[in-house]
Structure 1
Amino acid sequence: MNIIDELTWRGAINQMSDEEELRKKVEEKSIGVYCGVDPTGDSLHIGHLIPFMMLKRFQMAGHRAHIIIGGGTGSIGDPSGRNSERVLQTMEQVHHNEEALTSQMKHLFGKDNITIVNNYDWLSKIDLLSFLRDYGKLFSINTMLNKEVVSSRLESGISFTEFTYQILQSIDFHHLLKEKDVELQIGGADQWGNITAGIDMIHKIEGSDTEAFALTIPLMLKADGTKFGKTAGGAVWLDPEKTTPYEFYQFWLNQDDRDVVKYLKYFTFLTKEEIDELAKKVAAEPEKREAQRRLAEEVTAFVHGKDAVIQAEHISKALFSGDVKMLTATEIKQGFKKMPTVEIANESMNIVDWLVSTQIEKSKRQAREDVTNGAIYINGDRIKDLDYIINPAESFEGKFVIARRGKKKYFLAKVK
């Protein structure tokens, strides 16, 4: 299947310049393709992942993938998708973020057919007068004002700094075309104006017959109309310290039946036949959630590795069954990250006193009643003995005690 046909089937194309010529190009030879990200933070989130999944598909189809980590553009701020000016970061913070994002990209893309560059390397060498003479003259203010990324900001206001962003992005495209033979730029739907501005500049400098192409990805919305990638707790990050692999797995596992097939097309490398089969199961047996489970497995393995999938499934099984004894201290740290948590001293204590001191129970009377009735579990074991002694050193490497009241109310006690 032609890569353009595959992306079309996956619903991954919003706009594309010169489709007929690009389609022919990717069939004839390996072409250079690039996608960029600015180091506004020290981790990608899953919203960032969408265009890079498309870049990964080009890489897997034998094309030469290029990633720009925008150390230069990131230092001034992209106006798209915002109603106000970005707060400029220190260059020290920008460089820290560059290193973190580069590490994530290397993990996702491996070593074959991939080049990672930083646009600070060439943008920082352009002096002001050269910028105005060599590039500023090529851009019409009228045209720039009509670009959606700028026009959407005119009412709230936009600085000259962010206004010039599309010129810098155009310079990036031209630089990669000349230095790396990159002919196609991929971006989100909001990047169409910036990418086509680059194509226009390339034609003015190199000639109108120079081949340069644009491809953008649709804005992704959930079936309920809300923006994809956000949860009640905020963004879903690729950094395991920000979003644990277990949380990451659970995010995908909990997707709506109405969205899961779309996400399988976007975020996995399963074949059309495999996804069509899973789509049938969603329609016939939605309660089994096989499509969601496969989605969670595939995306978690891609981002965090297969061992992370095994660990996430292990944590899920333990929490569902209540058999938390099977968990390691590391797994507890992941699975109980958002559970009610208290700190305790590393000392033994009677269960009734312990339940009250941790505020799991409001009174000794209630604690005694719940213990007697079998409603209290410590580290997965039901405790009905009012004389039971809790010793934190005896469980989970002496780091945690897990209490449960009733069927599902878990509490995590962390040893100080």
Structure 2
Amino acid sequence: MTEHILDELAWRGLISQTTGEEELRAHLDEGPITLYCGFDPTAPSLHIGNLVQILTVRRFQMAGHKPLALVGGATGLIGDPKMAGERTLNPVETVHQWVERIRGQIEPFLSFEGDNAARMVNNYDWTKDMTAIELLRDVGKYFRLGTMISKDTVARRLHSDEGISYTEFSYQLLQGMDFLEQFRRYGCTLQTGGSDQWGNLTSGTELIRKAEGRTAHALSTPLITKADGTKFGKTESGTVWLDPEMTSPYAFYQFWLNQSDADVVGYLKVFTFLSREQIGELEHRVEHEPFKREAQRTLAREVTTLVHGAAAAQGAVDASQALFGRGDLDSLDAVTLAGCAKELGGVEGPSGISVADALVETSIVSSKSAARRAIQEGGAYVNNVKIDDADAVLATGDALAGGWTVLRRGKKTVGLFRQV
């Protein structure tokens, strides 16, 4: 018997709040429903926090339900309130470009065929011709100021030094209207989103109740955190994006590979479609053979394959091994090496540079004397070949695809250098 979608979500740690779990369960049991999740184009790419929502919607579709993925061409022009500070209002043309980019990132995760085919929607379609008077008369009349002010993000901003603009304050009207519009157009009865969106989610259910006299549902997922309390989805170089031009597949793979034993099982549940049995086996190996890091390697490959495809994932695996002397560097293409250089802080410098100077330039060692000592002690490598001459020059012919040369000290300290 197929597991109920709510039971699966609960096991994966993907339920934070609902408007009533038993009522939602009964509604889902009545037959396939239509649900939606919204994604605002506030950047040229989605990030791995958004991936939680994309995969949650996909899980509902796999359970037989029909998803609507809304990219907010209208709400992206406004911006929902942040915990602190006003959002930057981006030009209309920029937001429209980002809408198309984000659509392209979401579509591969959903099926657009069959009885429960997904549909992409844009709230700009039903807001672009609406006047302010129509918004106030047809939507605003159902909202109570006390309720709007009491929403967590709004309340926090009202009591802060920067306050909150009417633009951001009005966001919940627009998101509530989105749910009502999709209820009317497509029979949509469930909205999903992150727990930080709970106030906006319930704005929609309340609007449907007041305007239509009908019941709609909302379900939020927890914000993903790390066991040590630090922020998830950030690296030293910044946000982990889904766009390969903004976060290379190699860097993306490394992010997941570097997760701690305390976090990895939870992330396997949230970010992969592995079964309970498979994740249970990996959890056992974390407990009994943590040094093998099999759970981390599985997580990294699974999520990189989901987002970037099997070929890019294999390229990231190959690069991860080759850079540290366990694979063939010549097999890596220019795009993969460029991603490695970006992640590792690749350096460009003059042609004819000595290996010792290149080791310093890439910060593998702190001084030229330390570089010469590393070479003399047999701990320096160029493209995984040991260098024993302290006066050796980095030959142009040593370059790999894209002109990069891989320098390494010992087993773990790696840098990339390109002669220009």
Answer yes or no: same fold by TM over 0.5.
yes
CA spacing shift, 1:295–1:352, aligned 2, 3 Å: closer
CA spacing shift, 1:366–1:5, aligned 2, 3 Å: closer
Alignment-derived partner of residue 27 in structure 1:
29
The reply to whether residue 38 of structure 1 matches residue 40 of structure 2 is yes
| Counterpart residue type for residue 228 of structure 2 | D
Alignment-derived partner of residue 101 in structure 2:
100
The reply to whether residue 255 of structure 1 matches residue 255 of structure 2 is no
Alignment-derived partner of residue 166 in structure 2:
160
The reply to whether residue 185 of structure 1 matches residue 191 of structure 2 is yes
CA spacing shift, 1:200–1:369, aligned 2, 3 Å: closer
Match of 1:194 among 185, 191, 200: 200
Contact 1:377 1:405 in 2 (8 A): yes
Deviations 1:127-158 (A, max 9, x none): 01111111111111111111223112111211
Distance 2:247 2:364 in 1: 27
- Percentage identity across paired residues of the two chains: 47
Contact 2:323 2:414 in 1 (8 A): no
Distance 2:324 2:337 in 1: 14
Superposition pairs of residues 385-400 of structure 1, within 5 angstroms: 385=389, 388-397=392-401, 399-400=403-404
Shift of 1:43: 0.7
CA spacing shift, 1:22–1:97, aligned 2, 3 Å: same
Contact 1:392 1:400 in 2 (8 A): no
Contact 1:33 1:65 in 2 (8 A): yes
Deviations 1:328-384 (A, max 9, x none): 233322223233433234x55665677788897888776655544434322221222
Distance 1:300 1:172 in 2: 32
Superposition pairs of residues 281-360 of structure 1, within 5 angstroms: 281-321=285-325, 325-328=329-332, 329-345=334-350, 347-348=351-352
| Counterpart residue type for residue 198 of structure 2 | W
Contact 1:35 1:66 in 2 (8 A): yes
Contact 2:378 2:388 in 1 (8 A): yes
Distance 1:388 1:379 in 2: 14
Shift of 1:214: 0.5
Contact 1:340 1:410 in 2 (8 A): no
| Counterpart residue type for residue 107 of structure 1 | P
Alignment-derived partner of residue 87 in structure 2:
86
Distance 1:53 1:29 in 2: 21
Alignment-derived partner of residue 75 in structure 1:
77
CA spacing shift, 1:47–1:387, aligned 2, 3 Å: closer
**Mind listing any 5+ residue stretches in structure 1 that lack a counterpart?**
none
Alignment-derived partner of residue 4 in structure 2:
2
Distance 2:357 2:199 in 1: 65
Shift of 1:244: 1.2
CA spacing shift, 1:357–1:181, aligned 2, 3 Å: closer
Distance 1:273 1:357 in 2: 48
Shift of 1:54: 1.0
Shift of 1:91: 0.8
RMSD: 2.4
Shift of 1:400: 1.8
Q: What is the aligned residue count?
A: 412
Shift of 1:405: 3.7
Match of 2:13 among 11, 14, 22: 11
CA spacing shift, 1:29–1:379, aligned 2, 3 Å: same
- Describe the SS at the equivalent of 1:410: strand
CA spacing shift, 1:365–1:72, aligned 2, 3 Å: closer
Give the stretch that moved more between structures: 384-393 or 406-415. Answer: 384-393
Contact 2:346 2:362 in 1 (8 A): no
Deviations 1:273-320 (A, max 9, x none): 222222222222222222222111211111111112211111111123
TM-score calculated relative to the size of structure 2: 0.90
| Counterpart residue type for residue 41 of structure 1 | A
Deviations 1:262-283 (A, max 9, x none): 1111111111122222222222
Distance 1:228 1:360 in 2: 28
Shift of 1:33: 0.8
Alignment-derived partner of residue 414 in structure 1:
418
**Mind listing any 5+ residue stretches in structure 2 that lack a counterpart?**
none
Contact 2:264 2:296 in 1 (8 A): yes
CA spacing shift, 1:371–1:359, aligned 2, 3 Å: same
| Counterpart residue type for residue 180 of structure 2 | H
The reply to whether residue 59 of structure 1 matches residue 61 of structure 2 is yes
Alignment-derived partner of residue 381 in structure 1:
385
Contact 2:318 2:327 in 1 (8 A): no
Distance 2:402 2:281 in 1: 47
Alignment-derived partner of residue 125 in structure 1:
129
Deviations 1:33-78 (A, max 9, x none): 1000110001111111112221110011121111111110110110
